[in-house]
Amino acid sequence: MAILSFLGGPVVKGLIDTYQAKLKAGNIDSKIAADLAASEIAAQTAEIQAKNHLKIAEIGHPWEPEKLAFYVTLVFFAKCVIWDKVLGLGTTPQLAGDISTWAGMIMGFYFGKRTFENVAHIIRR
């Protein structure tokens, strides 16, 4: 390069300087692009982790009071439908009074709550 600039004078020296500046700029551009790609990957990883934490928080635990009440009611209804009606192996007396009211409210609350949560989640998006 030094020989070309010595032989070619200021015009060739200017072209060589411009070419070297372009090479340096290319290296800087590739470094910036690599840094941006690394930042994007880190952001995507953080977003995936946040979504997983949100999903865990939305699901909750299987021993929450609302779920325990639902399990008891579900076992009763499953026994009535599967054991009594489908298999014909027994009879269960009807629920009466407050017990039937509470059982209906528990089932309605559980299914209504999940439906409302799902619709709210869709609207929030």
Q: What is residue 69's predicted lDDT score, i.e. its pLDDT?
A: 79
Q: Measured between alpha carbons, how far apart are the two ends of the chain, in Å?
A: 60
Least confident segment among 37-41, 48-52, 72-76, 86-90: 37-41
Q: How would residue 12 be classed by pLDDT, with cut points 50, 70 and 90?
A: low
Rounded alpha-carbon distances, angstroms, from residue 125 to 52, 80, 87: 16, 40, 45
In the chain, the amino acid numbered 28 is I
Question: What pLDDT is attached to residue 5?
Answer: 47
In this structure, what token pair is assigned to residue 15? Answer: 């072209």
Q: Which is more confidently placed, 18 or 44?
A: 44
* Residue 61's pLDDT band (cuts 50, 70, 90): confident
Q: Would you tell me how many other CB atoms lie within 10 Å of the CB of residue 55? A: 9
Mean pLDDT along residues 44-62? 80
